[in-house]
Amino acid sequence: MTKAVPGRADQERTTRSARPGPVAEPVPVDEAEALGVVEGGEAVGIPSVVGVLKGITSAFAQPGPVSRGAGRLVRDLVSIARGTDEHTPHPKDKRFVDPAWSMNPIFRRLGQGYLALGAELGRLVDEYEKGSADWHDVERARFAVSALTSALSPTNQLPMNPAALKRAFDTAGASLVRGARQFAHDVRHNGGLPSQVDRSAFTVGEDLALTPGDVIHRDEVAELIEYRPSTPTVRERPLLVVPPPIGRYYFLDLRPGRSFVEYATSRGLRVFMLSWRNPTAEQADWNIDTYARRILSACEVIKDVAGVEDVNTLGFCAGGILQSVVLGHLAAQGEHTIHSASYGVTLLDFGVRAPLGAFSAPRALEMARADSQRRGVITARSLGTVFSWMRPDDLIFNYVVNNWLMGERPPVFDILAWNADGTNLPAALHSEFLGIFRSNTLAEGHLEVLGTPIDLGKITVPVFVTGALNDHLTPWTGCYRTTELVSGPSTYVLSNAGHIASLVNPPGNPKASYFIGGDPSHGPEHWRATAERRQGTWWEAWADWLVERSGDERPAPATGSNANHPPLEPAPGSYVLDRTPPSA
C-alpha cells in the first residue's frame, strides 16, 4: 500500500496510492500480531493456474483503463527518475522501514517505482469492477493481481533488499547460509513455501489443548470429549461444540487464559467437544451425511451421560454449516434434540459477496472436485496454500524475507502452530461443499441430508450468531444473513476483530469490543447503526445468553461418564494427534 504526501494531483494520487491492498506487516512479535496473521478460513475450492492467469488477463483486457494507466505510470516513472516524485510507502508498511528506502537514491527510486506500479494494478481491478463485471470474476482478478503485486516487491529479492544485504555483511554471510538451509527445508517439507512458525516448540497435550477432560466416545469419524467442570455446580443442559472439519479443534483450547473451552466451563457450562479424525484416501467417501450422522450420535451420547432430553450446540466456521444441516434435518423430522444453536463466523448464504468468490469459477471448482476425487482427499497443504495466497504479504513474503533472506528462524506462537497443523478434507465432503459454494444449495433449499430436504426457514430454535468486523473471508454482513435465513428468535453479535482473532478472544483484552442489540428490521447496516458497542469479548455476551437457555443448576458430577460411556483416555485424545486406536 502506498500513500501520497501533499503535492501534485493530491486527491487523485491519494486514491491511487491506497489501492494495492493490506499493509504488509513483519513477522509477528507478540500474541496480538500472531492472531492478526492467522485469518484463514475453510477452503471450498482451489484456484487453478488457468484461473489465476484468467484473473490477470481480465484485469488487463481493458483497452481504455490499461492505456490510461500506462500513461500515468510512464509519467510517474519519469518523475521518479528525476527525483521529484512524491510516492512514499505507507507509514505502516514495514517492508520499506529500512532507512535506505528513503535515503539511498537508488533504493528510493526502486521502491517508488514499485509503489507506482502497484497503485496502477490496483486501479485496473477497480476499473474492471466498475465495468459491471460479475463479482466472482472481480474477486478472481483481485486475488490474482494482489498475488502478482506482492510477488513483485523488490524486498523479496536479496540484491534489492538493503536490510538483508546489511545482515549478510554484518554476519559475514552466516545469515545467507542459514537462509539457504531454511529454504532447502521448506522446499522438502513445506511445499516450497516459507514456514510460518517453529512447530517444534509446541506439543499438543503438553503445551496446547490442556483443559482437563476425557474422551467418552469414539467411532471412526470423531472422538467425543467431555471437559471436567471447574465450578461446584453446572447447568443442566449440556453444550456440544462442533468445530470445523478443516483444522484441529484446539484453536478453541490453546493455553490457559486463551481457551474458549476453559472459559465456557468457568461459566458453569457442561462442555462436550467433537474432535474430528484426520481423513485419508481410505475415507474418501465420507460426506455431509457422515458428519451430520456423527453430530446426531454425539447428541445421543451426551443426552445419555447427562440424563437430559436435549442439548445446546455451537458450530464454528464450517462446523456451523454441518450444524445447520443437522438442525434442518431435525426440523424436517419434527425432533427436538437441539434446544438452541450458536454460530461462530459461519457463512451459510454463498450468494453474498466474499473473497472466496475468487475460486468459484465453474471450471476451477470442477478441477478442484476432480483433484480431490482423484487423491481421495483435498490435502491440508492445499488448503493452507489457498489462504496463504489470499494474504500473500502477511502469510508468504514476510516469511520469505525473515526466513530465507535474513536467515532468522520463524516465530514461535501457539496460534501459528495450530494454523500449521492442518487436516485433510475427504473427497465426498469436499464435493458437496463445492456444490453449496457454487450453487448456494444450502441457503436456497436445494440440499438433501440424511434423506430429508434442508429448509433453513424451518429452523425455529433460538440462535446466537457472531460475525467479525474485520473478517475478509466470511464478511460480517454475510454472517448476519444467518439471522434472516432461520425462523427462530435470533441474537447477533459483531466482534471488532478478524476471522480467527474474533474466536480466540478471551476476556481482559482492553482492545476488544463488540456490537449487540441492534434493530434487525432493515438489514445488517441498519442493525450496526443502531447496535450498542460494548467493551469486552463476545464470549461474555454468548455465555450470558446460553446460561439462560441451559436450565437449572445442579451439583457438578464427580466423573463425566457413565456405565454406558466410560472414559477411554484423557483429553485431548488420539485423533488430534493422528493416532488411530484399535477401538476405532
The C-alpha atoms of residue 317 and residue 424 are separated, in whole angstroms, by 16
Task: Let me know if 479 is a catalytic residue.
Answer: no
Q: Pull the grid cell for residue 225.
A: 470429549
pLDDT in tens, 496-521: 988 788 888 899 888 899 999 999 98
Confidence at residue 356, expressed as pLDDT on a 0 to 100 scale: 54
Count CB neighbours of 263 within 10 A. 23
What pLDDT does 511 receive? Answer: 87
Asked if pLDDT for residue 562 goes beyond 80, the answer is no
Q: Provide DSSP, 306-346.
A: HT-S-EEEEEETHHHHHHHHHHHHHHHHT---EEEEEEES-
Higher pLDDT, 91 or 111: 111
pLDDT recorded at residue 133: 65
Q: How large is the average pLDDT for residues 292-300?
A: 98
Distance CA(12)–CA(75), nearest Å, equals 14
Burial 444-455 (b: 16+ CB within 10 A, else e): ebebbbbeeebe
List the catalytic residue out of 116, 292, 317, 361.
Answer: 317
Sequence-distant (6+) residues with CB within 8 A of 28 are 34, 36, 37, 411, 413, 416
pLDDT computed for residue 19 by the predictor: 38
How far apart, in whole angstroms, are the C-alpha atoms of residue 238 and residue 233? 13
Confidence of residue 283 (pLDDT cuts 50, 70, 90): very high
- The whole-number pLDDT of residue 8 equals 32
The CA distance from 411 to 416, in Å, is: 8
Closest CA to 203 of 381, 418, 30, 505: 418
Q: What is the mean pLDDT of residues 539-556?
A: 97
Residue 364 binned pLDDT confidence (cut-offs 50, 70, 90): very low
Nearby residues of 150 by Cβ (< 8 Å), 6 or more positions away: 21, 24, 392, 393, 396, 397
With H, G, I as helix, E, B as strand and everything else as coil, classify residue 303: helix
- Measure Cα distances from 147 to 35, 136, 221, 234 in Å: 22, 17, 37, 50
Res 123 pLDDT > 50: yes
Tell me, what's the pLDDT at 198?
Answer: 84
Task: Tell me how far apart the alpha carbons of residues 478 and 420 are, in angstroms, rounded to a whole number.
Answer: 27
For residue 85, pLDDT beyond 90: no
Summarised one tens digit per residue, pLDDT across range 424-454 is: 888 889 888 888 887 889 999 999 999 999 9
Does 580 or 185 have the greater pLDDT score?
Answer: 185
Nearest of 438, 442, 476 to residue 459 by alpha carbon: 442
Q: If we measure between CA atoms, which residue out of 496, 458, 493 comes closest to residue 479?
A: 493
Please answer whether residues 312 and 342 qualify as being in contact, where contact means their C-beta atoms are separated by less than 8 angstroms: yes
| pLDDT exceeds cutoff 50 at 1 | no
pLDDT score recorded for residue 497: 85
How far is 475 from 516, CA to CA, in rounded Å? 17
Distance CA 34, CA 417 (A): 10
When the pLDDT of each residue in the chain is averaged and rounded to a whole number, the result is 85
Q: Which residue has the cell 516487491?
A: 153
pLDDT of residue 233: 97
Give the per-residue pLDDT at 388.
Answer: 74
Q: Which pLDDT does position 171 carry in this prediction?
A: 96
The C-alpha atoms of residue 230 and residue 266 are separated, in whole angstroms, by: 6
Q: With a cut of 70, say whether residue 193 has pLDDT above it.
A: yes
pLDDT for the residue 372? 61
How far is 127 from 495, CA to CA, in rounded Å?
A: 32
Beta-carbon contacts of 563 under 8 Å, excluding residues fewer than 6 positions away, are: none
- Over the range 29-57, which residues count as b (16 or more CB within 10 Å of their CB) and which as e? eebeebbbbbbbbbbbbbbbeebbebbbe
Residue matched to cell numbers 437457555: 549
Q: What is the pLDDT of residue 20?
A: 40
Highest mean pLDDT among 5-9, 132-136, 577-581: 577-581
* Neighbour tally for 171: CB within 10 Å: 14
Q: What mean pLDDT do residues 316-334 have?
A: 97
Tell me the whole-structure pTM to 2 decimals: 0.81
Q: Which residue has the cell 489462504?
A: 387
pLDDT digits (tens, 9 = 90+) for 17-66: 333 444 545 676 666 665 555 554 444 444 555 556 666 787 787 888 88
Q: Which amino acid would we find at residue 431?
A: S
Predicted local distance difference test score (pLDDT) of residue 17: 37
Helix axes 49-60, 105-130, angle to 10 degrees: 90
Task: Say yes or no to pLDDT of 88 above 90.
Answer: no
Could you give the CA distance from residue 199 to residue 187 in angstroms, rounded to a whole number?
16
Q: Could you report the per-residue pLDDT of 125-174, keeping only the tens digit for each?
A: 888 888 766 666 777 788 888 888 999 999 999 999 999 999 999 999 99
Strand partners, 491: 464
Would the pLDDT of 9 be above 50? no
Burial letters for 376-391: b for 16+ Cβ neighbours within 10 Å, e otherwise? bbbbbebbbbbbbbbb
What length is written for the chain? Answer: 584
User: Distance (Å, rounded) from C-alpha 527 to C-alpha 524?
Assistant: 5
Spatial separation of the C-alpha atoms in residues 574 and 362, rounded to whole Å: 38
Q: At what angle do helices 49-60 and 362-375 cross, to 10 degrees?
A: 170
Query: Residue 583 above 70 pLDDT?
Result: no
DSSP 11-49: HHHHHHHT-S-SPP--S--SHHHHHHH------S----H
DSSP annotation string for 384-424? HHHHHHHSHIIIIIHHIIIIIIS-PPPP--HHHHHHHS---
